[in-house]
Amino acid sequence: METIGSRIKQARASRGLTQKQVADHFGIQRVSVTQWESDTTTPDVERIPALAPS
């Protein structure tokens, strides 16, 4: 089953970005991106559009 976390990870990897680069873009810590990708937490609703592949 595909989860939000797995989709975030897949989108990040397909763009060749590191978790650190994604975290820096949003002004958050890298561990937050790790938690998103492991489905421990989810990103704030306002961040979702910026994470969506174009």
Neighbours of 37 (CB within 10 A): 21
- Per-residue pLDDT band for 53 (boundaries 50, 70, 90) equals low
Does the residue 22 lie in any domain? yes
State the residue range of the domain holding 39.
4-48
Query: Looking at the predicted structure, is the pLDDT value of residue 52 above 80?
Result: no
- 11 by Cβ neighbours in 10 Å (0-12 / 13-18 / 19+) ranks as middle
pLDDT value of residue 1: 83
Q: Would you state the pLDDT for residue 47?
A: 81
> Is the separation of the CB atoms in 4 and 39 below 8 Å?
yes
In a domain, 54, yes or no: no
Domain count across the chain? 1
Q: Give the pLDDT of residue 13.
A: 94
Instruction: With CA atoms as reference, report the closest residue to 29 among 17, 20, 38.
Output: 20
41: pLDDT strictly greater than 80: yes
CATH number at residue 20: 1.10.260.40
